């Protein structure tokens, strides 16, 4: 079974198959509509239900495998650009609940934050009255029509999105775990790193002249906050910098922001020194570990990242 699974993964990772697998998710709805038209609504619904169960299995398997093989399985769920956009949008819209949860549940470790000196709170307070006033004007002009309520919903969405983006650096600090290290720059940019791949981490603050949240310079990807980066990392293998609407950036050198860079370097060194988790059973099948993986996914989604 493990050999068959490995052969299937190798087939999915072929360059030609890679182009096809990224768009395989669009087959589900047309097939369901066709089955529903030919055999009736219940059979069409059954196809969607089977596909949903298949999605759940793929999520667990991708979580277990990680790396390029996990990415291949995630491609079966949605195109990478669609996943990146959906993840950034979800992170932006859930920034406020995550920030509240972080305040109630736990406090971040020293070095993992990078929001000191940012102007997110000021920008949110400045633009909120504008959004509210515009929504009120449209509602008064259009009365109690459905168009007015649609515009109110859009303004509410814009307000949530505005505050999510403004407070994103506070809601999404870096997270140093035993299995993965998540390096963030607000809700838009994220890097997942396996601790053993970190070759070095150095605290050195430099200004980023253009002020962009993400930039590339001399082969180094810069994730800046407040127009500067504070910690420089090198990896033994390329890592993927996720960004919305674009393909991930692959790099062996990364610079990130931190309010306390020396403490972050210490945390990263400690993570590298921890014993790696043995994942040899991942290729043998999911078995009873699937339940624990699902619990881990729920935990990871619920806690601040």
Q: Among positive and negative, which fits the CA dihedral 154, 155, 160, 164? A: positive
Q: Cα–Cα distance between 305 and 300 in angstroms, integer?
A: 7
pLDDT digits over 142-189, tens only?
877 888 888 888 999 999 999 988 888 888 899 988 788 999 998 889
Q: Cα–Cα distance between 218 and 59 in angstroms, integer?
A: 36
Q: Cα–Cα distance between 117 and 102 in angstroms, integer?
A: 20
Q: Among positive and negative, which fits the CA dihedral 267, 269, 270, 276? A: positive
pLDDT digits over 22-55, tens only?
666 666 566 666 666 666 656 556 666 766 676 6
Any idea which of 5-9, 71-75, 175-179, 285-289 has the lowest mean pLDDT? 285-289
The contacts of residue 77 (CB under 8 Å, 6+ apart) are: 25, 55, 58, 59, 83
Tokens representing 268?
Answer: 């990263």
Tokens representing 21?
Answer: 């697998």
pLDDT digits over 217-274, tens only?
888 999 998 888 999 999 999 998 988 877 788 899 999 999 999 999 999 988 887 6
Residue 203 is predicted with a pLDDT of 93
How much is the mean pLDDT over the chain?
75
Q: Cα–Cα distance between 141 and 160 in angstroms, integer?
A: 23
Residue 10 is predicted with a pLDDT of 60
The contacts of residue 198 (CB under 8 Å, 6+ apart) are: 181, 233, 234, 235, 236, 268, 271, 272
Report which secondary-structure segment, H or E, holds 183: strand 181-185
Number of residues assigned to the chain: 305
């Amino acid at each position: 079974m493990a050999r068959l699974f490995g052969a299937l993964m190798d087939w999915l990772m072929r360059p030609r198959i890679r182009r096809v697998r990224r768009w395989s998710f669009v087959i589900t709805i047309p097939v369901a509509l066709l089955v529903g038209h030919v055999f009736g609504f219940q059979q069409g619904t059954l196809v969607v239900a089977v596909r949903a169960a298949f999605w759940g299995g793929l999520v667990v398997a991708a979580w277990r495998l990680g790396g390029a093989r996990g990415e291949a399985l995630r491609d079966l769920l949605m195109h990478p650009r669609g996943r990146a956009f959906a993840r950034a949008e979800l992170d932006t819209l859930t920034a406020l609940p995550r920030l509240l949860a972080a305040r109630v549940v736990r406090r971040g470790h020293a070095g993992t934050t990078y929001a000191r000196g940012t102007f997110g709170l000021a920008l949110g307070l400045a633009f909120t009255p504008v959004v509210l006033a515009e929504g009120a004007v449209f509602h008064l002009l259009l009365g109690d029509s459905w168009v007015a309520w649609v515009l109110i919903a859009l303004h509410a969405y814009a307000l949530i999105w505005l505050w999510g983006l403004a407070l994103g650096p506070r809601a999404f600090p870096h997270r140093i775990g035993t299995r993965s290290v998540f390096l963030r720059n607000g809700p838009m940019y994220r890097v997942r790193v396996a601790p053993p791949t970190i070759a070095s981490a150095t605290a050195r603050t430099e200004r980023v002249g253009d002020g962009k949240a993400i930039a590339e310079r001399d082969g180094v990807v810069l994730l800046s906050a407040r127009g500067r980066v504070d910690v420089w990392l090198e990896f033994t293998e390329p890592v993927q910098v996720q960004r919305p609407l674009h393909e991930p950036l692959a790099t062996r050198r990364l610079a990130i922001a931190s309010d306390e860079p020396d403490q972050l370097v210490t945390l990263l060194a400690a993570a590298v020194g921890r014993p790696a988790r043995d994942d040899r059973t991942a290729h043998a099948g999911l078995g009873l570990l699937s339940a624990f993986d699902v619990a881990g996914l729920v935990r990871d989604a619920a806690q601040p990242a």
